[in-house]
Structure 1
Amino acid sequence: MIFMQTQTTNPSGNKAHIVFDVRKLVFTALLAAISSVLMLFSIKVPLMPSFISFDFSDFPAVMASLTMGPIAGVFVCLVKNIINLFSSMTGGVGELSNFILSCCLVIPAGIIGRKINTYKGAVIGCVVGSVVMALLSIVSNYFLVYPIYENIMPIEAIINMYKEINPNVNGLLECLIVFNCPFTLIKGLVASVLCMPLYKVLRPVFNSYYRK
């Protein structure tokens, strides 16, 4: 008698995985669309130069990163800035800066949030991401963004705009430390605070699929 061994699969499990992947794709696209719209409604900040504005577009990107991983968060950051390129007032420089700094927020938040897979871990990830974004804003602006932006506006004119707010600042680096770093930190923390209530609701749903 010959016995044949066959390997069975779990079609229902595969189907559930496919359905979840589709949901992730749809949810990521939805968050990217929301982020793109929020980026259009920017707010001028009185204590910052006129070419710098505040928006809430990082909130959906943080949500994507915490629930589906940092790659999803980066995708949301990329899509929102590509869409807003068509209405850019800075020749794309503002969108470049936004993409870099948003990634500095969502990548640490997503990595730590998935590593410490608790609500507390998400909070820690968002705080770390906000600090990283604030510190790297000095580096990215000083070495990349502002040198490119100089093609639109001279550095001296940019520094003078900072000096109109605080005459005691001297040089671009000091302006970035005094103005941009705290501003960027606050922006990251605001996005994180807005994200937390919704993340608290969605986290069990996404975690139940990740454990499958």
Structure 2
Amino acid sequence: MNKLMQTVTENVAYVVIFLAVIVGCFLVSVVLEKGAQKKNGISEPIFNTRKLAMIGMFSAIAMILHVLDFPIFFAPGFYKMDFSELPILVGSFAFGPVAGVMMEFVKVLLKLCIKGTSTAFIGDLANFVVGCSLIIPASAVYSFKKTKKSAIIACIVGTLVMTVFGTAFNAVYLLPAFSKFYGMPLDAILAMGAEVNPLAKEGSIVSFVVACVAPMNLIKGTLVSVVTLLIYKPLSPIIKTGHKA
């Protein structure tokens, strides 16, 4: 915990950016959830005691899956795959976009408290915002119309948004930020991608993110979506006991 506080102090700018992104994600999710409630004629608070308890449980499961990340063969070693969005997508289908963002936030917070950060919060910001780019659109689509067909559409939309957004976010912000943090020229980072993936042309950030980042997000979103579609309905009666939606 002391190490985390020291890192916070040393990297105030990244912390401020992180907090601004979190607030932005919450505001978007609140607007979408309220719109879905109005469309479906539902009037209830965004949070209640049971929902908060379930958010805590799903966040803890997500944190464990987040810690159990692993490298992928077609990208440099600093990219890791994890399936922490699986319990969060299930929970957000049950309780809405705001709960999904809350679970993403608590997951990252728990991970920071347990393991700290080795990337000045850059990697943690990436995990949060890219996770939200799957969770927010998917849960919003499903919240407006809760049918099997809309669940499939929701997962497809969420996966596509995460793939496109995550790819662009890496090119525009994350890779330059990693370059600055590690004091490593951006070309050197891109060369690392070219070493493990022949489709990533050396010196080209576009080919790097298309060859290394886009497939990772597409695979992750697809697998998380498929498993969610298989397990959500059997789990739904248990998860939503006492919940109106």
* 2-structure distance, mates of 1:22, 1:208: 10
* 1-structure distance, mates of 2:92, 2:123: 22
1:80 counterpart (95, 107, 120): 107
1:121 counterpart (138, 150, 158): 150
2:87 counterpart (56, 60, 69): 60
Mapped pair 1:43 → 2:70: yes
Give 2:33's aligned residue: none
Mapped pair 1:166 → 2:200: no
Question: How big is the alpha-carbon RMSD for the aligned residues of Structure 1 and Structure 2?
Answer: 2.1
Cα displacement (A) at 1:207: 9.0
CA contact under 8 A between 1:142 and 1:172: conserved in structure 2? yes
The one-letter code matched in structure 1 to 2:103 is: V
* 2-structure distance, mates of 1:42, 1:203: 27
Q: Greater shift after overlay, 84-93 or 44-53?
A: 84-93
Give 2:162's aligned residue: 133
In structure 2, the gaps of 5 or more residues are 1-43
List structure 1 runs of 4+ shifted beyond 4 angstroms.
none
1:156 counterpart (187, 191, 210): 187
Give 2:230's aligned residue: 197
Mapped pair 1:182 → 2:219: no
* 1-structure distance, mates of 2:61, 2:175: 28
CA contact under 8 A between 2:93 and 2:142: conserved in structure 1? yes
* 2-structure distance, mates of 1:97, 1:162: 18
Cα displacement (A) at 1:208: 8.1
* 2-structure distance, mates of 1:157, 1:85: 28
CA contact under 8 A between 1:112 and 1:121: conserved in structure 2? yes
Helix, strand or coil at the partner of 1:210: coil
Percent sequence identity over aligned pairs:
32
Give 2:15's aligned residue: none
The one-letter code matched in structure 2 to 1:183 is: M
In structure 1, the gaps of 5 or more residues are 1-16
Give 1:97's aligned residue: 126
CA contact under 8 A between 1:109 and 1:125: conserved in structure 2? yes
TM-score by length of 1: 0.83
CA contact under 8 A between 1:96 and 1:145: conserved in structure 2? no
| CA spacing shift, 1:207–1:22, aligned 2, 3 Å | closer
The one-letter code matched in structure 2 to 1:41 is: L
The number of residues matched between the two structures is: 194
Rg bigger for which structure? 1
1:156-187 CA distance string (max 9 Å, x none): 22101111023451411211012211211111
CA contact under 8 A between 1:119 and 1:200: conserved in structure 2? no
* 2-structure distance, mates of 1:194, 1:201: 12
* 1-structure distance, mates of 2:244, 2:176: 43
* 2-structure distance, mates of 1:200, 1:191: 15
| CA spacing shift, 1:198–1:21, aligned 2, 3 Å | farther
